[in-house]
Structure 1
């Protein structure tokens, strides 16, 4: 008697993977956390920490400070959560805490007098934008160093507005909600920031470059709200070409 052969499982015939449960809505997690459920708050931390950490790094320019700000933001959020009335979105509320704390930390640091080749924001941006174009990595590092030096020369309000809209990908209405100002103020600040960025970049003899594929990828990542993409290509293109 010949034993029947069992069919081999090939990739084309692989069994479909059942989708996992849908994520719990943020509002439901906030309500549970307000009622004292620590696990719900842990999920909020997991969900928002990458973006808060990115924002803290963009505003403080220091890895250690960014870590401290991020930890402090969620500690304060946990302590103040019972006072959160839900009149704004949770992300708006926690972003506001992050902006205020990051600016407080940055005020204690002296402004950078020159371009810092070891700026951690440059390292992360080059890793994001230069991995598929390694021959451009040196050029990107130089240009991003110049851009971030110019970015750091902006006033705190302009710097925060650029970080929220250009680097974090928030819409003007969302940024206005975080900064508690009219939407038109965000548009005016962006106009002023771009003019000042161009002037600062001209002073350090920065030349326009074609951001190309990295710029398109950056815009796509920001549109999809990828919290782990610290791309500066879109900001670079906007500073020179808008």
Structure 2
């Protein structure tokens, strides 16, 4: 038996099938959390954003018009809630700590390439920390677009729907974010080839 599509799950949920919405949540919960975590940079706040995303989606099921895919709609809710969380914070933000899970995630990807050389591992950790700091230094708009497209792998067409802007704007934001990251890394002694 084939798995129901997201649209079929939404239709079933609209018909009162709570299990269908539960399946939709399980299907997208990790991606929504990862997106929120990259945006708000706090696991506790990302959990709150993730939970609130699905609460709001459930409450607004009747208003889902089907012009976009359900995951696009969920992403848009998560992005808006993440940005609201960021704006509600006090303006100070500490530098990336060495135990930031984002750093470990970046390092996991490079360990396969560079092996176990301690000197290389140390350099890669410094680069990963600087990269996270550089991403954090971007404006909310550039950071959100970069995370959606480059980290989460959302195609430009879907990102434009999630962010409510033309595809060309998404492409420009990604280009600009990468340019700023290269400058940031170069200012800290790293070559811009990492971005």
Check whether TM > 0.5.
Answer: yes
SS of match in other structure, 1:46? helix
Superposition deviation, residue 97 in structure 1: 0.3
2:182 paired with 1:202: no
Distance in 2 between residues matched to 1:25 and 1:207, nearest whole Å: 44
Q: Which structure 2 residue ranges, 5 or more long, are not aligned? A: none
Q: Which structure 1 residue ranges, 5 or more long, are not aligned? A: 1-20, 210-235
Compare 156-165 and 198-207 and name the one that shifted more.
Answer: 198-207
Distance in 2 between residues matched to 1:111 and 1:134, nearest whole Å: 36
Report how many residues are paired. 191
Superposition deviation, residue 199 in structure 1: 1.4
Superposition deviation, residue 102 in structure 1: 0.8
Within the candidate set 105, 108, 112, 2:93 is matched to 112
Cα contact 1:173–1:183 (8 A) shared by 2: yes
Provide Cα deviations, 1:152-176, integer angstroms capped at 9, x if missing partner. Answer: 1111110010001000101111111
Cα contact 1:112–1:149 (8 A) shared by 2: no
TM-score normalised to structure 1 length: 0.73
TM-score normalised to structure 2 length: 0.90
- The aligned counterpart of 1:6 is none
Within the candidate set 14, 39, 42, 2:22 is matched to 42
Cα contact 1:147–1:201 (8 A) shared by 2: yes
As a proportion of its length, which structure holds more helix? 2
Cα contact 1:69–1:102 (8 A) shared by 2: yes
- The aligned counterpart of 1:127 is 108
Cα contact 1:62–1:120 (8 A) shared by 2: no
Cα contact 2:182–2:191 (8 A) shared by 1: no
SS of match in other structure, 2:60? helix
Provide Cα deviations, 1:173-213, integer angstroms capped at 9, x if missing partner. Answer: 1111111111111111112111111111122222457xxxx
- The aligned counterpart of 1:69 is 49
- The aligned counterpart of 2:40 is 60
Compare 118-127 and 175-184 and name the one that shifted more.
Answer: 118-127
Within the candidate set 144, 147, 150, 2:128 is matched to 144
2:164 paired with 1:180: yes
Provide Cα deviations, 1:117-170, integer angstroms capped at 9, x if missing partner. Answer: 122211233235436734354333221110010011111110010001000101
SS of match in other structure, 1:112? coil
SS of match in other structure, 2:35? helix
Within the candidate set 82, 87, 97, 1:102 is matched to 82
Within the candidate set 139, 146, 153, 2:137 is matched to 153
Distance in 2 between residues matched to 1:186 and 1:111, nearest whole Å: 28
Larger radius of gyration: 1
Do the aligned partners of residues 202 and 113 (structure 1) sit closer, same or farther apart at CA in structure 2, a change above 3 Å counting? farther
2:154 paired with 1:170: yes
Cα contact 2:39–2:143 (8 A) shared by 1: yes
